[in-house]
Structure 1
């Protein structure tokens, strides 16, 4: 039988080396130098000497996993979560919070400096509690026929497999306390084989639960779920598909932004870290240096997280959002808070906006809070508006750096940079930048 050589077939020998770690990247990996190139090491911290199993060896970098810590860092701490290292939700619980924040701030400064061609420093870090901060979570559900049990939890790193969790210390305590009784309740349902996922949200008026089920629930299952909601004093919503949502018990949720009441649907986007969100809104308003006669444009405004607090301080605010349901909710929230100087528009901000009714107004200040893709479609229009100040809130430093270049080459200067530690123990890097017109 003939055998043929395949270039794709590679036989590698697992290699173990000893290195000293110099840095921590924003994803919580230690960074060392080996054979003249960068090595990224999961489970290692700066200053540590570690024995590393090399898992990937490329021309420009390599990756490895810490097999043994020979010299431990003073900033190494014991993770609170028993599922850490198995669950893919957190990557940095072994690192002290100040080290996590500083590594993210350094990464942000490097990216903005490289894009702007000038040294950029992070002026401040806006953070909060390391644990008990997350007010929203989606837990996967998977029935195991072999042992007839229901798995409930988060995905493993780089995998679709679930880690069956008993607790999650980064969740708000009210949500963390629901995990085990909820698991028992769902596992007892007759529809246990046909459940999709469950969402937990802590609103200011209490917790809520959204259950995605793949088949219609019978009367007995519905009764069990309703009894569970009453016992644990939570609002219950059932989702038979991705579009429908049935409210079974409880009130519609709301949260507060700068003392403004914002109602929302359980599926609407809200910032998961309320403590950081409150500080972020206050800082954005301060950076804009708002005056009573200002006209402010809030792009990617959602349901009014920034829009409504802005409207309390200036003559006129326009909020523009690409999701129609959020626009309707923003208008409702403005009415709820007795604000008559704010208008919401539904608009795809990737399209040409120059002919829209709101686009030609004389805005003096602009705030934008885009999704991870950034705001390339609207940056040139912001320049045409020539606002005095622009505050850009970002959840992706790469697209922030790209969009910043548009402003920097059009007569704006970068005034302030804040790192928003919205997601401690994870690799998510959020930030906020102030630009002013020179």
Structure 2
């Protein structure tokens, strides 16, 4: 065991210190500014993995985690930090990535916009299911493993979703479903996904399964929906998503509506937005409204190209600034919903295109575009897409990122092609309180040659 001073954190929620021999030490359970005695868990040539054995000098913003499952569940990483410190950590993570990976000079702190709700903010939760004898377990994965932590509730999802989860959990625990066995790739039920809108006023239940429900199995699910609907009038529908493939991808490409409706309706600002069980929709609706409004405020020009548009939530906010928007999305049901949402919200000049952004966007498509808006998944933009944008001489690129590392990488590529990062535009939005996940907004502008 060794006593260390922790000077910062990484994106996995580990404190970072320096061992006596100079190696970097990643410490589970430590906060910046603390001194702790740590126990080594794993040693490598250039770094050490450790955990806090005893805090010698605690941060004044350390607190007891409110969730009793926190120390084993892998869902949250920052419950032991007061919320003000969480926001500081996220701003630090974004700045550190831009400096270290992108080579940008970041003076001072990036402003962090806190979530309006620290708890019960998530509108989506995915619970893995695993076989246990003739019954099953459901919960979240233990950190760094596929072992189920059988949580009885989650404090970051709404109360109604927690109550629905408790009923489904009871059924799984008592053998009402044939549950998935990862080792043998057998069993039917793999995940339970609960989505909510309007703080739980609407719920959608998605069972991710290895095969379509046929015959008596479907009839049993229809009866299940009727039973749940009596207890939860806010339940809009029951959907089975079919995913027979091995691996860590949760959602499959086929969905079957068992009964009810296959979508929810959310309101962000003045816009009504429908989304289904499989399409991307920001998990914190209140914070999404703040993020989208800020992103739209940075847009200049009348002709926009929006990539990774999902169901068109950001599109709606952008429409109040633009004359034309071409929105690109790869997921088929999201494309259909983006078109419907555009029509319902009376968005004029909107064209929604289906396809992967890197395959759809050609240099000719960027002629006359005033700003490209990208909101990619954690992997960031495909390099070929960045190269297409960079060679087009589009005046502005607005980048919304859920991963500071890939933002820094892609922003550096654009910088090398003649774009400058607008430091005043940088904002961090805490979309996921209690976790290390963070959204960052950055505007890049082409420099005059």
Instruction: Give the C-alpha shift of residue 401 in structure 1.
Output: 1.2
Q: Tell me the residue number matched to 1:196.
A: 190
Report the more deviating stretch, 395-404 or 344-353. Answer: 344-353
CA deviations 1:177-216 (Å, max 9, x no partner) are 3232232244456434442221100023511111234564
Aligned to 1:313: 321
In structure 1, distance between residues paired with 2:350 and 2:42 = 54
1:437 & 1:427 partners in 2: Cα distance? 31
Find the aligned partners of 2:327 and 2:218 in 1 and give their Cα distance: 43
- Whether contact under 8 Å (1:366, 1:391) holds in the other structure is yes
The alignment of Structure 1 onto Structure 2 pairs a total of residues equal to 416
**Cα separation, 1, equivalents of 2:333 and 2:241:** 19
1:120 Cα deviation from its structure 2 partner: 5.0
Confirm or deny that 1:26 pairs with 2:45. Answer: no
Structure 1 position 126 matched with structure 2 position 113: yes
The TM-score with structure 1 as length reference comes to 0.88
CA contact (8 A) 1:21 1:44 kept: yes
Question: After the TM superposition, which residues 3-402 of structure 1 pair with which residues of structure 2 at under 5 Å, given as runs?
Answer: 16-35=1-20, 36-114=22-100, 115-128=102-115, 129-145=117-133, 149-187=135-173, 190-193=176-179, 194-204=188-198, 206-214=202-210, 216=213, 217=217, 219-220=219-220, 222-233=222-233, 234-239=235-240, 241-242=242-243, 243-250=254-261, 252-288=263-299, 290=300, 294-351=302-359, 353-354=361-362, 359-375=365-381, 376-402=383-409
How far did 1:377 drift?
Answer: 2.1
Q: Contact conserved, 1:84 with 1:90, CA < 8 A, in 2? A: yes
Tell me if structure 2 keeps the 8 A contact 1:185–1:224: no
> SS of the residue aligned with 1:184?
helix
d(CA) in 2 for partners of 1:118, 1:238: 48
Q: How well do the aligned residues superpose, as a CA RMSD in angstroms? A: 2.3
| 8 Å contact from structure 1 (residues 133, 273) kept in 2 | yes
State the alpha-carbon separation in 2 of the partners of residues 107 and 306 from structure 1. Answer: 24
Mark the runs of 5 or more structure 2 residues left unpaired by the alignment: 180-187, 244-253
Q: Write the deviation string for residues 274-322 of structure 1: whole angstroms up to 9, x where unpaired.
A: 122111100001111x45xx11111121221221222233211111122
1:342 positional shift: 0.6
Deviation at 1:400, TM superposition (A): 1.1
